[in-house]
Structure 1
Amino acid sequence: MAPHSSSPPEPVEGARASARRSQQHRGRRTPRRAAAGRRSFSSSLKALEALAQSGAQVSVHVADLDSGDVVLSGDDHVALPIAGLGVVPVLIETAAGLETGRIDPLRIVDRTRAQFVAGSGLWRSLRAPALPMVDLAVFAAASGDPNAANALLDVVGHDQVRARMVSLGMPRSAVLDRFRDKRGPDDAPHVAVGTTREFSRLFAALVNSTVVNAAVSVQVSEWLSLNQDLSLVASATGLDPFAHDQDAHGLLFINKTGRDRGVRAEAGVLGGPRAGISYALTVCFDDLSINHRLRAHEAFRVLGTDLMEYVH
């Protein structure tokens, strides 16, 4: 893969303004680098290369919001399991239904015990057996609640989500199934699969208000700004996991993560005083020990550090 090159960009007022609105309301090829010097992503390259050499599947795509230049990429066309990151297209279809009036925001949805996911999430710990659509969207975005995500998917429809992803230019990515405690032989092997190229571009489009329309983009960005999982790439930002939608130091940030056994994925947008950037990273690894897991997590944190250096 031939390297790209680019000069350090200036801040993107359009992307930053859009992000501000949202706050208010086993391929194993080595990644390649584009930016030179201080913002070369050399640390990320080293960490991701080490993961790939250890047998992990690594896919990454990082692009500058101003120029659109790809500053870091590797196997970004390969569709890999992304777990809860697949909730983002479901949120987009939900916001589109709310915006057109097809879905009542206060429509009450019951937890269906027959397909209740008991292993994770907040809704399972609540006494309320039913919640309105808008609250389920908040749960799905903020905590990755599997039952909330399943409820949204049931209402908006799997076929509609699939069609929406194609219309958004995501032909290699797909939401395959609902969340389950156990996957049987008749179930899809994963909740969702996706390419880092498509998800990085999706997040860039969200902050630029071009996903469906401005209203939908702002609504989804607002939901995602509540995400409390800042333990991977976002761990380098120093943001408060519970209140990071109005950072005192001017960081603009939205993200979504995905976690499963041997799967870690994250996509998002980070904006700072010098630049804005969209990113996506997926690592599939043999989760044989805590050290294997921590090595994968460390690669996400290294990328986060390089992203912070890029935008500051």
Structure 2
Amino acid sequence: MGTPDPQRSSQQQPHLRGAHRRPRRPAADRRSFPATWRALDELAASGARVSVRVADLDSGEALLSGDDHRTLPIAGLGVVPLLVETAAAFEDGRLDPLEIVDRQQLPAVGVAGVWQHLKAPALPLADLAVLAAATGDALAANALLERVGLPAVRARLESLGLEHTALMDGFRNERGPDDAPQVALGTARELAGLFASLVNAQAVSPGVSAQVSEWLSLNVDLTLVASATGLDPFAHEDDAHGLLFVNKTGRGDGIRSEAGVLAGPRAGVAYALLVAFDDLSIAHRLRVHEAFRTLGVELMEYVY
């Protein structure tokens, strides 16, 4: 793990859809995230692999970094580059957002999501993107991946300069010896940077950035870092207290990951925290979850 590096942020806060920026009052008390640092050191001492980065949303300067170059499995967080390529394909006309996909044409997967429980057997691609972003729907993500293709996602990651982040496979109920061992891999540095570029309207194009940010703003999983925000999981795009928040989580056996953007009246940050651990008991899992929540508390203190 590295050492935290508190820096001053500038005085601009991005609007979610990248349309304009609003003034941010100067930040007085700059924090170095001491409780987060202790929690992550304890996880690392217990054998967990940890990668973390918190960066100023405007300057990109690191406020907290520890092994942020380290590549770790990220599970469903790997859907984000798939959403970027999907939005790009919608924008340039390679895909029709209203193209209907029949789930009966897809291999069954029951690891996460709601589409498998819905009566509607077919949905348009645009709705599948919403399900993948908002509920981590594995079947919807697989449908998008089938239409977009892994080579296109990999090319998009390369064009974005993400050398150590990869979507390797779709979601499966079981992984055999001929399957990729993980859905996706990534580093905290690259994932925090990707979220910053989305909110700052710099990923592919302003339109693509806005579309992906809008999809991700619907994410209902606010149980890790986001648990400290007090936001409504089902309606948090327009917060009454001026809190801007976009995130995506990833979960798997021994995997917890989250990346996002959090901005308040005083500051804005892009963050990513990735943890790979021995999921031996509920206690092991809850200790990891508590580290995410500790980061959330200190991020809220920083932006407010």
Say yes or no: TM over 0.5.
yes
- 1:147-185 Cα offsets, whole Å, 9 max, x none, are 000000010111000000011111111001010000001
**Corresponding residue for residue 12 of structure 2:** 12
Matches within 5 A, 1:61-72: 61-72=53-64
Which of 273, 283, 304 pairs up with 1:281? 273
Does the Cα contact within 8 Å between 1:11 and 1:272 map onto a contact in 2?
A: no
How far off its partner does 1:88 sit? Answer: 0.2
**Corresponding residue for residue 226 of structure 1:** 218
Change (3 A) 1:135 1:233: same
Q: Structure 2 CA distance, aligned partners of 1:36 and 1:117?
A: 49
**Corresponding residue for residue 113 of structure 2:** 121
- 1:13-36 Cα offsets, whole Å, 9 max, x none, are 4xx2345759xxxxxxxxxxxx99
User: Residue 36 of structure 2: SS of its match in structure 1?
Assistant: helix
Which of 228, 242, 258 pairs up with 1:250? 242
Matches within 5 A, 1:51-90: 51-90=43-82
Does the Cα contact within 8 Å between 2:4 and 2:66 map onto a contact in 1?
A: no
User: Residue 78 of structure 1: SS of its match in structure 2?
Assistant: coil
**Corresponding residue for residue 191 of structure 1:** 183
- 1:228-263 Cα offsets, whole Å, 9 max, x none, are 000000000000000000000000000000000000
User: Residue 258 of structure 2: SS of its match in structure 1?
Assistant: strand
How far off its partner does 1:284 sit? Answer: 0.6
- 1:25-60 Cα offsets, whole Å, 9 max, x none, are xxxxxxxxxx99751100000000000000000000
Change (3 A) 1:98 1:2: closer
Does the Cα contact within 8 Å between 2:17 and 2:209 map onto a contact in 1?
A: no
| Structure 1 spans left out of the alignment, 5+ residues | 23-34
- 1:175-223 Cα offsets, whole Å, 9 max, x none, are 0101000000110000000011000000000011010000000000000
**Corresponding residue for residue 31 of structure 1:** none
Does the Cα contact within 8 Å between 2:74 and 2:184 map onto a contact in 1?
A: yes
User: Residue 115 of structure 1: SS of its match in structure 2?
Assistant: coil
More displaced 10-residue stretch of structure 1: 113-122 or 275-284: 113-122
The amino acid that maps onto 2:159 is S
Does the Cα contact within 8 Å between 1:82 and 1:263 map onto a contact in 2?
A: yes
| Structure 2 spans left out of the alignment, 5+ residues | 21-26
Q: Structure 2 CA distance, aligned partners of 1:55 and 1:7?
A: 30
Change (3 A) 1:246 1:110: same
Does the Cα contact within 8 Å between 2:7 and 2:61 map onto a contact in 1?
A: no
More helix by share: 1
Does the Cα contact within 8 Å between 2:259 and 2:271 map onto a contact in 1?
A: yes
How far off its partner does 1:120 sit? Answer: 2.3
How far off its partner does 1:127 sit? Answer: 1.4
**Corresponding residue for residue 33 of structure 2:** 41
Q: Structure 2 CA distance, aligned partners of 1:256 and 1:94?
A: 16
The amino acid that maps onto 1:298 is E
Which of 201, 205, 222 pairs up with 2:197? 205
Change (3 A) 1:88 1:235: same
Does the Cα contact within 8 Å between 1:19 and 1:252 map onto a contact in 2?
A: no
**Corresponding residue for residue 174 of structure 1:** 166
The amino acid that maps onto 1:277 is V
Q: Structure 2 CA distance, aligned partners of 1:94 and 1:252?
A: 24
Which of 96, 101, 108 pairs up with 1:104? 96
Q: Structure 1 CA distance, aligned partners of 2:291 and 2:82?
A: 28
Q: Structure 2 CA distance, aligned partners of 1:281 and 1:52?
A: 13
Q: Structure 2 CA distance, aligned partners of 1:208 and 1:274?
A: 17
Q: Structure 1 CA distance, aligned partners of 2:188 and 2:2?
A: 18
Q: Structure 2 CA distance, aligned partners of 1:138 and 1:152?
A: 11
How far off its partner does 1:69 sit? Answer: 1.1
Answering whether residue 160 of structure 2 is matched by residue 155 of structure 1, we say no
User: Residue 98 of structure 2: SS of its match in structure 1?
Assistant: coil
Q: Structure 2 CA distance, aligned partners of 1:247 and 1:44?
A: 25
Q: Structure 1 CA distance, aligned partners of 2:45 and 2:3?
A: 20
Identity of counterpart residues, as a percentage? Answer: 63
Using the size of structure 2 for normalisation, the TM-score is 0.94
